[in-house]
Structure formats: C-alpha cells, structure tokens
C-alpha cells in the first residue's frame, strides 16, 4: 500500500497528515477551520491544507494514493456529499467529487467518530480485533461500530450514534430533543453544566476561579485539576457521568458482544485510569453477558481520526 493522506476537519482546526504505508506520519499541516465560509471556499481551504502537508513532505499528489476526510457531521456515502456541517455552513455539498477535481486525487469522506473508531481499529488500541465499539465522550458522546473488521454504517450512514441511546427515560433534555440520552447525562458538556452549578453554589473553588460560570470554559484539564484538588462534589459529578456512560456501554456490550470497547476523546484521555475504572465497573454491572470484552483507552490521541480517515480513504 502506498502513502496516503488523512484529514480531520475539526470544529476549530483542520489537521492534514501524510502517512506512510504503516500509518506512520511523514509530515502534517494545520490550518484554522474557515467558520461560516460556505461550500466552495471551505473546499478550497481543505485542498490548500492538503497541498501544504504534501509540500512539507516533499511529495506531490502523484506520490500518494488517496485522501480520506473526516467531517463532523452526517455524510451521504454513495453520492460523496456532506449532508451538513453546521459550523462551516456546508450543506448538501458534493465535497468528494469537488475535491477530486481540485486535487486530482481519489477522495473518500467519513464521519469523524466513525473515522476515530476505525483509526483505533487499524492502528491503535483495538489493533488485531474484529469487533470494536468506539465511544467518544466530548461535547456530545460520539460512537463508531466495527463489526467483522468492517465499519458498520447502517442504512443511512448514521449508525453508531451511541450518544442518543436513552439511558434515563424522562431524564434531562438532549440537544437532539429527546429526554435522557446518554450524552445528556455523560458528555463533557453534561459534566460542565453540573460543575458550573457547583461553582455558583460555592462547592467548587477551582471551577469558580478558572471558569466562573461559563460552561464553555470548563475544559477537560480543569475538570482534572478540580478532581486532583480533592473537591469531592466535583469527583461525584464525574463519577456519576462515568456511571451513566457505563450504563450505556453495558447495554452495547450485550447487543454487540464486542472484542473491545475503546474510550476516546480528550476527556477520557485527560481523566485516564480512574475514570476508565468507574466506567468499567458500571458497564459490568449493567451488562447481562458480562463478557470478557475489555474497555480500554484510545491510544492514538488526535491521530485516531486522521489515521482512520486515511485508511478509509484507501477504500481497502
Ligand atoms: Zn439525544
């Protein structure tokens, strides 16, 4: 297999990496995501960051076999359209074909969490496993499913939305409109909401000092810091979110009987083993088959998405 390019279209930055045949990075380039730029301009910005990554690698498009792009939104695989990417205002746009024409390179699109799960499957924590669940608690709770060594997309390419599994019927309202979705009770956003409440009621000095009552300023690092400071109410909030994540994962283990569940994203990475242990305990409590499926942390960090996108881009 030849060299490939993977690109992660994030909410704030685009990361393009040129990879060798073992998915090791040769070079990468980063660029700000053009917020609100619209279809054409966004496509050209993507082409540009790919060109810069190739230049830095002293390579030309003819030296790489394909480009895989991970986007934060739904995709129509058959037509190669991005259905929606709200923050860059891209709507029902034939990104695959437009980029192929612009770059003269074979292009594939994938949803970012699917790509992240696939990256961990092909080169990370789930290497050599066949049945893999990826769960990525962050702003929401993203998910991906690899079954029998293949990414499972479902009828509309929307499969794997583990974040919208109901784990507390009648519970808090989710961004999707339903009540009690997994992400409404276990995402980083859900944790941040509770921590801001603690800050307001004088139960977390650390959060009050660093973020005030601004939810968007409660980052994974700050959550970690407040826990390390021994603030018990903060620890309880995170523990409850981890417990709910385990409720969801327990059911997923019963449905898919996977070889491994990979926990990815910045929150899991920052909170590490303690968080993982809470999730694990709850998942085992809430799984009927109590399989020997291991629950592990992702190992590729930011690169799970880029590597997954590149691997999917090869079409193999
Ligand atoms: Zn939901």
- Distance (angstroms) between ligand 1 centre and the Cα of 61 equals 40
- Distance (angstroms) between ligand 1 centre and the Cα of 290 equals 26
Q: Number of helices and strands (H, E) in the chain?
A: 10, 13
Q: Which CATH class is domain 129-297?
A: alpha beta
Q: What are phi and psi of 18, to 5 degrees?
A: -90, 125
CA distances from 205 to 199, 225, 274 (A): 6, 11, 22
Q: Do the beta carbons of residue 9 and residue 73 sit within 8 Å? A: no
How much is the pLDDT for 275? 97
> CA-to-CA distance for 134 and 142, rounded, in angstroms?
8
Q: Would 3-118+303-313 and 129-297 be classified into the same CATH topology?
A: yes
β-partners of residue 91 are 84
- Distance (angstroms) between ligand 1 centre and the Cα of 79 equals 27
The tokens of 182 are what? Answer: 């997994």
How much is the pLDDT for 117? 97
How much is the pLDDT for 291? 66
> CA-to-CA distance for 73 and 102, rounded, in angstroms?
22
Q: Do the beta carbons of residue 38 and residue 100 sit within 8 Å? A: no
- Distance (angstroms) between ligand 1 centre and the Cα of 244 equals 14
232-256 and 220-228 helices, crossing angle to 10°: 120
> CA-to-CA distance for 203 and 239, rounded, in angstroms?
16
- Distance (angstroms) between ligand 1 centre and the Cα of 22 equals 37
- Distance (angstroms) between ligand 1 centre and the Cα of 10 equals 21
How much is the pLDDT for 281? 95
Residue among 302, 240, 316, 300 nearest 120 (CA): 300
How much is the pLDDT for 316? 64
Rounded to the nearest 5 percent, the helix, strand and coil shares of the chain are 45, 25, 30
Superfamily the domain 3-118+303-313 falls into? ATPase, nucleotide binding domain (3.30.420.40)
What pLDDT tens digit does each residue of the chain (316 aa) get?
A: 589 999 999 888 999 999 999 999 999 999 999 988 889 999 999 999 999 999 999 999 999 999 999 998 888 988 999 998 877 788 899 999 999 999 999 999 999 999 999 999 999 999 999 999 999 999 899 999 999 999 999 887 788 999 999 999 999 999 999 999 999 999 999 999 999 999 999 999 999 999 999 999 999 999 999 999 999 999 999 999 999 999 999 999 999 999 999 999 989 999 999 999 999 999 999 999 876 779 999 999 989 999 999 999 998 6
- Distance (angstroms) between ligand 1 centre and the Cα of 177 equals 6
Note residues around ion ligand 1 (Cβ under 5 angstroms): 164, 174, 176, 178, 181
The domains of the chain are located at 3-118+303-313, 129-297
**pTM higher than the cut 0.85:** yes
- Distance (angstroms) between ligand 1 centre and the Cα of 232 equals 29
- Distance (angstroms) between ligand 1 centre and the Cα of 112 equals 18
């Amino acid at each position: 297999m030849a060299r490939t390019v993977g690109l992660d279209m994030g909410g704030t930055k685009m990361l393009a990496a040129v990879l060798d045949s073992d998915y090791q990075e040769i070079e990468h380039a980063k660029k700000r995501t053009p917020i609100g730029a619209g279809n054409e301009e966004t496509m050209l910005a993507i082409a540009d960051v790919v060109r810069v990554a190739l230049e830095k690698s002293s390579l030309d498009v003819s030296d790489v076999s394909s480009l895989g792009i991970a986007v934060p939104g739904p995709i129509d695989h058959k037509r190669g359209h991005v259905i929606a990417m709200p923050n860059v205002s891209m709507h029902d746009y034939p990104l695959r074909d437009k980029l192929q024409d612009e770059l003269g390179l074979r292009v594939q699109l994938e949803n970012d969490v699917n790509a992240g799960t696939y990256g961990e499957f092909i080169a990370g924590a789930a290497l050599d496993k066949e049945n893999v669940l990826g769960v990525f608690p962050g702003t929401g709770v993203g998910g991906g499913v690899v079954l029998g060594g293949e990414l499972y997309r479902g009828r509309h390419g929307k499969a794997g939305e583990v974040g919208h599994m109901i784990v507390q019927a009648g519970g808090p309202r989710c961004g999707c409109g339903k009540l009690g979705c997994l992400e409404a009770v276990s995402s980083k956003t859900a944790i941040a909401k509770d921590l801001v409440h603690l800050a307001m009621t004088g139960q977390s000095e650390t959060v009050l000092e660093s973020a005030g009552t601004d939810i968007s300023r409660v980052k994974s690092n700050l959550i970690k810091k407040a826990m390390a400071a021994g603030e018990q109410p903060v620890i309880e909030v995170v523990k409850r979110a981890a417990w709910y994540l385990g409720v969801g994962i327990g059911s997923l283990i019963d449905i898919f009987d996977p070889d491994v569940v990979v926990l990815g994203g910045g929150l899991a990475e920052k909170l590490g083993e303690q968080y993982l242990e809470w999730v694990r305990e709850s998942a085992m409590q809430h799984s009927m088959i109590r399989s020997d499926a291991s629950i592990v942390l992702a190992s590729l960090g930011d690169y799970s998405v880029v590597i997954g996108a590149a691997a999917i881009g090869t079409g193999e």
